[in-house]
Amino acid sequence: MYIDYYEKYLSSIYRKKSGELLSQSSVNHYMDALNKINKLLSDISYSDNSNLYEIDSLSDLKKIETFLKNNEEFIRLNKDGHQMYSSGLHRYMEFAEGKYFENIKDEVTIFDTPHDIPPELYVKERYTHNRDRILINQAEKMVCYKCEIDNTHKTFIAQRNHKPYVEGHHIIPLKMQNEFNNNLDMYANILILCPTCHRFFHYGEKSDKLKLINQIYDVRNERLAASGISLKRKEFIDLVEYSKSRNRYV
């Protein structure tokens, strides 16, 4: 799932200490390191799913990081490879934790490309714990933990990260995935909201919601289309309004 995002991150977002972007050879180096780490995890049968690019839980990813750092085979290969493995793992963890994602503004559009739909069973597992999801955490950093409806909205400081508490909201509900050929779970379809605005999307007065949904369409329509989700205004409104019947994160 994250392989394309990671490559774009390395080539367009990540910065060296000098502030410069990575060279293409460095990007290739880090991509190669992750491929070899994935092969190692598969060879030692770490779990049913040993591909780091398909792990969407930040806490699960950190468990794998701890495991590898204490695994004799990883330590040996890392030494023989002149720290290539540990360097590659560290860089990927920085991506997963959203380093340099803070307020990247227009640069976020580099991530807006169509993506295949993950296997159904894995989708259900991944969407269970929204606050632990890599995608949501990254999206929160992109907007500096501010509500995208109104960045002046005040909220409390969250215990989990000591940042203003916000929530990830899928504009087009994920339960509508069967109606699309491309994955709905991507940056262009995620809004970061304060708790009040999030509840408003589910329980607000219909006439007030329609005004806001129209505004969101104007802002996100092009990005959704670039991500493979092309909708006319009425189609968009009908799909988003459908989310009001859901009582959990969408």
Q: Given a cut of 80, is residue 39 above it in pLDDT?
A: yes
In this predicted model, what pLDDT tens digit does every residue of 73-93 receive, in sequence order?
Answer: 999 999 998 999 999 999 999
105 pLDDT band, cuts 50/70/90, is confident
Q: Are 217 and 237 in contact (CB under 8 A)?
A: yes
Query: Percentage of the chain with pLDDT > 70?
Result: 90
Sign of the C-alpha dihedral computed for residues 246, 232, 183 and 5 taken in this order: negative
Contact 187, 135 (CB under 8 A): yes
What would the two tokens of residue 25 be? 């050879």
Whether pLDDT at 129 is above 90: no
pLDDT at 208 over 60: yes
pLDDT exceeds cutoff 60 at 245? no
Q: How far apart are CA 144 and CA 158, in angstroms?
A: 14
Q: How confident is the model at residue 185 (pLDDT cuts 50, 70, 90)?
A: very high
Averaged pLDDT, 196-215: 91
Q: How far is 123 from 114, CA to CA, in rounded Å?
A: 17
* The model's pTM: 0.87
Cβ-proximal residues to 50 (8 Å cutoff; 6+ apart), any chain: 38, 41, 42
Query: Residues near 20 by Cβ (< 8 Å), separated by ≥ 6?
Result: none
Query: Is a pLDDT exceeding 60 seen at residue 149?
Result: yes
Distance CA 85, CA 227 (A): 32
- pLDDT the model gives residue 8: 95
Angular region, 15: left φ>0, alpha ψ -120 to 50, beta rest: beta
C-beta of residue 243 within 8 angstroms of C-beta of residue 200: no
Count H helices and E strands in the chain, helices first: 10, 2
